[in-house]
Amino acid sequence: MLIIGPPGSGKGTQAERISERLGVVAISTGDIFRANVKGETPLGLEAKQYMDAGDFVPDSVTNRMVRDRLSHGDVADGFLLDGYPRTVAQVDELDAILSETHTKLDVVLQLTADDEELVSRLLGRALETGRSDDNEAVIRHRLDLYHGQTEAVVAKYAERGILRRVDGIGGIDEVTDRVMDAIREAVAGETTSA
């Protein structure tokens, strides 16, 4: 399973809740990058340059990290990827990784939200957490990147019939209910979206 959405749409929060409710491992590329940055690993130092500018970490670095993570035994009963794939090239790489392990995606959840709401959310989060990658110019740049690159990813999964769009605006519990409904619909093979 994948969860996709613009920065600030609540992907991380919803990924944790899905993981708890379904008993699958949530894998967040953002968390892995931030841990490497905090630990000042070579990968973290490389990733920090891109993250601070609001740019995506290059596919080559991200793909290696995801390939390694999906080789761990805890993903055997299912997983939820949060923050990957973000580009069409990463979709192709994920397809290759899953093919090698005879695994397929069951559902791709896309959280949707208005850009101005997202900017407001992220500026609030920056004040609370002191994240250096959350200022208005960087946030707007990240949203532009999302719209320019990730929407092509969404289109690919929509063509495959596994995309479910979920409104990400509202209370956390309300959004979680919509997400769980979308997962149930996908598993049941229904074609409606939340």
34 known ligand binder: yes
10 known ligand binder: yes
Task: Give CA–CA dist 95/123, Å, rounded.
Answer: 35
120 known ligand binder: no
Q: How would you write 157-192 as a 3-class SS string?
A: HHHHCCEEEEECCCCHHHHHHHHHHHHHHHHHCCCC
Take residue 32 and report the two structure tokens written for it. 């892995």
Residue 133 burial by CB count (10 A; 0-12/13-18/19+): exposed, middle or buried? buried
Q: Nearest to residue 180, comparing CAs of 169, 159, 166, 160?
A: 166
12 known ligand binder: yes
Spatial CB neighbours of 190, under 8 Å, sequence gap ≥ 6: none
130 known ligand binder: no
8 known ligand binder: yes
160 known ligand binder: no
Tell me which residues are annotated as active site: 11, 86, 125, 131, 142
Residue 25 DSSP SS3? strand
Task: Give CA–CA dist 34/24, Å, rounded.
Answer: 22
56 known ligand binder: yes
131 known ligand binder: yes
Residue 81 DSSP SS3? strand
164 known ligand binder: no
* Binding-site annotation, residues for AMP: 29, 34, 55-57, 83-86, 90, 131, 142
Query: Annotated binding residues, as ranges?
Result: 8-13, 29, 34, 55-57, 83-86, 90, 125, 131, 142, 170
Q: Binding site for ATP: residue ranges? A: 8-13, 125, 170
